[in-house]
Amino acid sequence: MPTDLPLTLKLPEGYTFADLKLRRCGADAIDLDMDLVKLICTINGLDFEKVCQNPGPVVTTILTIWYKNHLAQGGQPDGLMEELKSPRQRVH
């Protein structure tokens, strides 16, 4: 299945995972800084307007890659990300 996502994702310099301001905004929904998502789309050549039509795949990729990088660099675990990684959680 074709995808618009690159195999690798460039993360913006000068920002940390915490800058995404990830938070739960409902029992099955999350919120994050969409201005930062737009910046990530821009530096990766993704059409932000198209991403906004179906943000799930791109947001999931951003969260997954950035969180792995965050942990690999010695960052502290994030409670919501750990919860989201659980196979019991399904967040839209």
Quick one: pLDDT at residue 2? 47
Quick one: pLDDT at residue 37? 97
Quick one: pLDDT at residue 6? 45
Longest Cα–Cα distance of the chain, Å, equals: 35
Higher pLDDT, 26 or 25: 25
Is the pLDDT reported for residue 87 higher than 80? no
Is the pLDDT reported for residue 90 higher than 60? no
Higher pLDDT, 20 or 27: 20
Quick one: pLDDT at residue 1? 40
In angstroms, what CA-CA distances link 72 with 13, 44, 59? Answer: 16, 22, 20
Q: What does pTM read for this prediction? A: 0.83
